[in-house]
Amino acid sequence: MPFLRFPEHFLFGSSSSAHQVEGNNVHNQWWAFEQEPGRIKNGDKSGLAADHYHRYKEDFADLKAMKHEAHRLSFEWSRFFPESPTQLNPEAVRHYHNVLDTLHNLGIEPFVTTLHFTIPQWFAEMGGFEQEENIRHYLDFVRFLADEYGRKVHFWCTINEPNIYASFAYIIGEYPPAKKNIRTAFRVLSNLLKAHGRAYHIIKSLHPASQVGLVVHLPVFAPLRKGSFIDKLTARLADWVFNGIILEALKTGKIHFPAGFFEKHDFIKDSNDFIGLNYYVRMFASPKHAVATALNALDTDLGAFRRTGSERLTQSGWTVYAKGLYKCLKRLHRKLGLPMYVTENGIATEDDEWRKIFIRKHLRQVHKALEKGMDVRGYFYWSNLDNFEWSFGFEPRFGLVDVDYANDCKRTIRDSAWFYAEIIQQRGFWQDEKAKNESLEQIFPQEIQ
Ligand code: IFM
């Protein structure tokens, strides 16, 4: 029964993003989108969200109580520049200084994301990342941030999940501007990669010692029918389009899309001191689903990608596949050879016992990567707080802390938070295989792997 020990320098923490928790981010494109009927499940609107903008001190004190050593958060561009690229809002500047100071005073290391899905409405109106010439506005913002906060922020995540941004906003149509055009999606993805590459060099030129990286979301693609050659091929193709193109660009600077789009940019190559991995899900591919997504011929039923049969589903409609986390770490290690942080990993469920098992199973995979000599430096659970889960609204409960939206956003720390805190405090956990499997069997019998 070995003790799975994590190194002293390994950072345990949690992740969040501005729009999902702060509340009243009225100047971004998501806010506008949420006002359109039918966009968000149950007609939810982010509104006050978890009111973290006003309650960040209390929330960070909770992080401290829960033993977190690092916290990933995003700075909301539309708070700094609500009306135009040049009119700075000094209140936002002060606010995020206070946020950083509070974290530092508690001894919690901030990881700051400069773009987590939300853009100011004025930027959206000029075409957002559809237009290459607009990238300069994002870069001005990054320069401003690095200049203003560079002495307080050592770890910068440039852009969160460019593949999700491009595909959900421009193919699947669940994120604003809900266009359905695959060529535009590729253009946006390419512009996001360029924006990331340029942002990296801007931050490094101002603060050479800082650590800067992109955050990628890598689903594991598997064939829907195990023995099917055509499903395997589709899974490979989906993986290349969704994951492979980005990793290749980071490695070589080459952006290579299907249908002949090709560009090479040296500033994208080697534009990471570390790579952030967001890992959640395994997707099952078959030609029918892939074609439906690509051509937009049908309203894509993402559920079809997310399950094979009777597995237990989370509130996001996902199945749990912990081994995929190790696979993704191994892939990133081999492809990029960079230090890695698991910048997000979490489960949406009301069943807090399931959350404990989820955390344990995934940390086991992180530990396996460490055992194999991979350079994994941290794990951030998504999320510390229940939050606004984009087009799913408030229904999915990812938080280590429950937020009672109907009762003045009252916080209640869940048991899983204390379970995670104990792992952090002990710097690991005992791997009691028998006990683990017994409890797993009771909870999701099909998932023992
Ligand atoms: O809530 C999101 C987050 O904004 C980006 N990564 C995935 C999370 C869970 O879906």
Pick the atom of ligand 1 nearest to 392's CA: 10
Number of Cβ atoms within 10 Å of the Cβ of 164: 19
- Give nearest CA residue, ligand 1 atom 1: 389
| Pocket-forming residues, ligand 1, beta carbon under 6 Å | 17, 20, 161, 278, 316, 344, 382, 389
pLDDT given at position 432: 76
Give the pair of three-digit tokens for residue 269.
């190559």
pLDDT given at position 443: 46
For the full predicted model, state whether its pTM sits above 0.85. yes
What tens-digit pLDDT sequence spans the chain (449 residues)? Answer: 799 999 999 999 999 999 999 999 999 999 999 999 999 999 999 999 999 999 999 999 999 999 999 999 999 999 999 999 999 999 999 999 999 999 999 999 999 999 999 999 999 999 999 999 999 999 999 999 999 999 999 999 999 999 999 999 999 999 999 999 999 999 999 999 999 999 999 999 999 999 999 999 999 999 999 999 999 999 999 999 999 999 999 999 999 988 778 999 999 998 999 999 999 999 999 988 777 776 654 455 555 566 566 789 999 999 999 999 999 999 999 999 999 999 999 999 999 999 999 999 999 999 999 999 999 999 999 999 999 999 999 999 999 999 999 999 999 999 999 999 999 999 999 987 555 555 544 544 444 33
Q: Which of 325, 328, 382, 395 to mutate to test the pocket of ligand 1 (most atoms within 8 A of CB)?
A: 382
pLDDT given at position 433: 56
CA separation for the pair 405, 114 (Å, rounded): 27
Q: Which of 115, 216, 390, 392 to mutate to test the pocket of ligand 1 (most atoms within 8 A of CB)?
A: 390
CA separation for the pair 200, 206 (Å, rounded): 10
Pick the atom of ligand 1 nearest to 387's CA: 1
| Residue 44 phi, psi dihedral angles, 5° rounding | -65, 155
Domains of the chain with CATH codes: 3-448 (3.20.20.80)
Choose among 55, 52, 63: nearest CA to 384.
Answer: 63
pLDDT given at position 280: 98
Residues 6+ apart with CB under 8 A from 120: 27, 28, 29, 77, 78, 81, 82
Contact 119, 32 (CB under 8 A): no
Choose among 10, 110, 25: nearest CA to 60.
Answer: 110
- The answer for 393, left when phi > 0, alpha when psi is -120 to 50, beta otherwise, is left
**Maximal CA-CA distance, the chain:** 60
Pick the atom of ligand 1 nearest to 117's CA: 4
Looking at residue 27, its amino acid is H
Distance 230 CA to ligand 1 centre (A): 30
CA separation for the pair 391, 404 (Å, rounded): 19
Choose among 237, 243, 241: nearest CA to 285.
Answer: 237
CA separation for the pair 385, 374 (Å, rounded): 30
Looking at residue 380, its amino acid is F
Q: Which of 389, 394, 395 to mutate to test the pocket of ligand 1 (most atoms within 8 A of CB)?
A: 389
- Give nearest CA residue, ligand 1 atom 2: 389
Residues 6+ apart with CB under 8 A from 424: 12, 66, 67, 68, 69
pLDDT given at position 437: 54
Give the pair of three-digit tokens for residue 174.
């669940």
Angle CA 217–221–225, to nearest 5? 160
What is the radius of gyration, based on Cα positions, of the chain? 21
- The answer for 299, left when phi > 0, alpha when psi is -120 to 50, beta otherwise, is beta
pLDDT given at position 449: 39
Q: How is residue 68 annotated by DSSP?
A: -
CA separation for the pair 295, 434 (Å, rounded): 47
Give the pair of three-digit tokens for residue 151.
């002495």
Distance 389 CA to ligand 1 centre (A): 7
Q: Which of 46, 278, 315 to mutate to test the pocket of ligand 1 (most atoms within 8 A of CB)?
A: 278
Q: How far apart, in Å, are the Cα atoms of 377 and each of 9, 12, 66, 259?
A: 7, 9, 19, 38
Task: Look at the block and give the residue holding tokens 């500047």.
Answer: 93
